[in-house]
Amino acid sequence: MAYKKILTIQDISCMGQCSLTVALPILSACGMETCIIPSAVLSTHTGGFSGFTFRDLTDDIPLIQAHWQKEGILFDAIYTGYLGSTKQIEYIKSILDTMGTSECIKVVDPAFADGGKLYPIFDDVYVEAMRSLCPSADILLPNISEACFLTGIEYKEEYDEEYIMSLINGLVKLGCKTVVLTGVGYRAGFTGVVIYNNGEIKYYEHERVAKTCHGTGDVYASTFVGALLSSGKMYEAAALAADYTVECIKKTQDDPKHWYGVKFELALPYLIDRINKI
């Protein structure tokens, strides 16, 4: 297993099991050194809580970057998630362009929509800025809602392979090299992940757990990045991330009080076991 240095840029939701509070433990469990830039600090995530605090850390980003550049710090992977503002996207481009080693893998999780709707703080201007970030990424990790907003294709709950291919082709036209599209299910009881890489399409289908849980996109993305860096195997990493996400939902689904996230900690032994076998 390779020991790599990863930079992840996303918010700190102080309570709510998403973004950095999920990415750090998962990447650590995958055996990765993890450095962070918090994009914002919120009291909770924005999915179901009201009255959350929001401290935008946009202005800190270039200062942190400048310090690291003086220190000569470079990363084997840079993985971005929920960002705090449209202005941040310009700073993120500069980080993706300058802060990686020659082998650096750049992963962008657009993290701005679900269920066909934008998350509360985002708007069309943010979507447009995120579109312009696509060419800077090696791997884009959207769900179907984000793929729809980015490509301008209508959001559908039911679809066929042709529709999914139109999303993938639209993302490729935006400059995405590799796309890992999550939450793609063609038949009842199953969902899956479509992996488009260098003109080749693969699909990993797995059991669909009835309950949808907040934060699973972040669990998926963090696990995918950790497993990819650890193994160098794209399809296996996409599949492992899906299986671990299912385990996390299973650990949570019988507890109605735990509506705001998944009990991913309880499934970390499963993740560590799988990572060692990949």
Give the residue with the Cβ less far from ligand PXL, 81 or 100: 81
Q: Tell me, residue by residue from 36 to 75, as one string, x for binding to ligand PXL by CB under 6 A and - for no binding.
A: ------x--xxx----------------------------
Q: How many Cα atoms within 13 Å fall on the side-chain side of residue 151?
A: 25
Q: Tell me, residue by residue from 71 to 100, as one string, x for binding to ligand PXL by CB under 6 A and - for no binding.
A: -----------x------------------
Nearest to 221 by CA among 49, 77, 14, 37: 77
Report the residue number whose CB is nearest to ligand PXL.
46
C-alpha 162/C-alpha 184 separation (Å) is 12
Give the residue with the Cβ less far from ligand PXL, 18 or 61: 18
Least Å distance between CB 65 and ligand PXL? 21
Asked if 19 touches ligand PXL (CB under 6 A), the answer is yes
Asked if 146 touches ligand PXL (CB under 6 A), the answer is no
The only residue of 6, 9, 13, 181 in contact with ligand PXL, by rule CB under 6 A: 13
Asked if 131 touches ligand PXL (CB under 6 A), the answer is no
Least Å distance between CB 122 and ligand PXL? 10
Give the residue with the Cβ less far from ligand PXL, 202 or 258: 258
The only residue of 36, 119, 208, 211 in contact with ligand PXL, by rule CB under 6 A: 119
Asked if 11 touches ligand PXL (CB under 6 A), the answer is yes
What's the token pair of residue 198? Answer: 């260098």
Give the residue with the Cβ less far from ligand PXL, 13 or 65: 13
Give the residue with the Cβ less far from ligand PXL, 179 or 262: 262
Asked if 111 touches ligand PXL (CB under 6 A), the answer is yes
Binding site for ligand PXL (CB under 6 A): 11, 13, 18-19, 42, 45-47, 82, 111, 119, 215, 217-218
